[in-house]
């Protein structure tokens, strides 16, 4: 597989063409961003850790019947992925209240949400990823109602697969964000990444934060925590 020119550079990952028009290379960089790009730092080894973490999680999801973009690892920091047409919304599932939900609704951090909640956000840093509803998504033609229904179903399925996986490692999957796209046949496929950059994970007993909130809140030991999470779910990095 020949790596081609850069297609897109995001805040933490870069996408490259390959010599196969249906495949891209996703490079996980050490850049770590929070608050819609307001805070950016380089964290040593984070690219490698997230690339391998993402590959491991996507494999678990594939085994459970969730179609993902990931084909295989091509280097420490790069993965080969299917080219998707990305849908510009973020799908957030929450099992416990945290982050923007607490700020928006004034609820206490850690309140259990049973059943889990689901929210859509528009992917737009300049507008700070505003929350949108299904009628906005259909009305502005970001996705069809059928695609919305499938993204929701798949997001809850991911929750059902990953919550027990993290629970076995003594962690609570507090919330997470997914992004989907369509493949060349129009199927909805899970894209982007699943790493501690895009979810919240707390130690089940102590409630210690083991995810990107360590970076957002300046708690330190960010990559070390990601490595600990990986090791607790059986991935030694």
Q: Which residues bind ligand TMP (CB under 6 A)?
A: 90, 92, 98-101, 121, 129, 175-177, 198-200
CB of 92 to ligand TMP, least distance (A): 5
- 18 or 195: CB nearest ligand TMP: 195
CB of 92 or CB of 188, closer to ligand TMP:
92
> DSSP state, 211?
S
Q: What are phi and psi of 134, to 5 degrees?
A: -65, -35
- CB-wise, 4 or 88, nearer to ligand TMP? 88
SS3 of residue 86 by DSSP: strand
**Smallest Cα–Cα separation from 70: which of 229, 237, 189?**
189
Give the residue from 37, 38, 31, 35 showing the smallest Cα distance to 12: 31
SS3 108: coil
Kindly state the smallest distance separating residue 12's Cβ from ligand TMP, in Å: 10
Min dist. Cβ of residue 145 to ligand TMP (A):
23
The answer to whether 161 and 66 have CB atoms below 8 angstroms apart is yes
Alpha-carbon gap, residue 218 to 50, rounded angstroms = 19
- Closest distance between ligand TMP and the C-beta of residue 213, in Å? 8
Residue recorded with tokens 């906005």: 136
Residue among 39 and 187 whose Cβ is closer to ligand TMP: 39
To the nearest whole angstrom, how small is the minimum distance from the Cβ of residue 216 to ligand TMP?
Answer: 9
Which residue in the shown chain puts its C-beta closest to ligand TMP? 99
- Residue whose CB is less far from ligand TMP, 16 or 118: 118
**Closest by Cα among 162, 176, 200, 170 to 58:** 162
């Amino acid at each position: 597989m020949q790596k081609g020119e850069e297609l897109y550079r995001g805040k933490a990952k870069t996408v490259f063409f390959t010599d196969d028009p249906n495949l891209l290379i996703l490079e996980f960089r050490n850049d770590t961003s929070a608050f819609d790009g307001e805070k950016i730092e380089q964290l040593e080894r984070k690219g490698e850790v997230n690339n391998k973490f993402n590959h491991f999680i996507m494999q678990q999801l594939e085994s459970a019947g969730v179609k993902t973009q990931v084909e295989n690892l091509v280097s420490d920091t790069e993965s080969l992925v299917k080219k998707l047409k990305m849908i510009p919304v973020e799908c957030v599932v929450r099992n416990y209240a945290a982050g923007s939900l607490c700020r928006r609704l004034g609820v206490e951090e850690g309140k259990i949400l049973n059943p889990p909640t689901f929210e859509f956000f528009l992917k737009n840093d300049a507008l700070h990823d505003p929350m949108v509803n299904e009628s906005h998504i259909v009305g502005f033609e970001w996705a069809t109602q059928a695609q919305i229904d499938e993204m929701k179903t798949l997001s809850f399925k991911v929750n059902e697969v990953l919550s027990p996986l993290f629970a076995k490692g003594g962690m609570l999957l507090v919330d997470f964000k997914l992004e989907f796209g369509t493949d060349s046949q129009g199927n909805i496929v899970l894209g982007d990444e699943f790493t501690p950059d895009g979810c919240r994970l707390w130690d089940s007993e102590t409630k210690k934060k083991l995810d990107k909130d360590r970076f957002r809140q300046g708690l330190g030991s960010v990559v070390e925590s990601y490595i600990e999470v990986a090791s607790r779910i059986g991935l030694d990095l």
